[in-house]
Amino acid sequence: MTTQMHFPASSSPLYRLADDVSVLTLIDQMSARQAQLQALLAMTCGAQADAFRRLSPSYQDNYLWACSMLAEELRELGEALQARGVA
């Protein structure tokens, strides 16, 4: 089963998961992306957000776009797990 993955900057598939990718590999990738997203978002609220708010508007937009792309990849990885019968 080939799972197409999309890059959020494009509407067409950019890459595919290997047919033989293991569930553990998918879970590891999801865990890594979740940790990265959590670290990025931690800098946008609370006391840490001061540095974020000092960024230019275009840098703030690009930073949040990166967060959005990670969230989209997490969604697609979750769908790939569901397709493999993992709840």
Write down the pLDDT at residue 53: 95
- Going by C-beta distance under 8 Å and a sequence separation of 6 or more, which residues neighbour residue 9? 69
Compute, in degrees rounded to 10, the torsion defined by CA atoms 74, 75, 81, 82.
160
Extents of the domains making up the chain: 3-80
* pLDDT score for 17: 82
pLDDT digits (tens, 9 = 90+) for 27-57: 999 999 999 999 999 999 999 999 999 999 9
The pLDDT of residue 30 is 95
Q: What is the pLDDT of residue 20?
A: 87
Which pair of tokens denotes residue 21? Answer: 């990718």
Q: Is 77 exposed, middle or buried (0-12, 13-18, 19+ CB in 10 A)?
A: buried
Structure token pair of residue 71: 């969230």
Pick the more confident residue, 78 or 9. Answer: 78
Residue 3 pLDDT > 80: no
- The pLDDT score that the predictor gives to residue 1 is 52
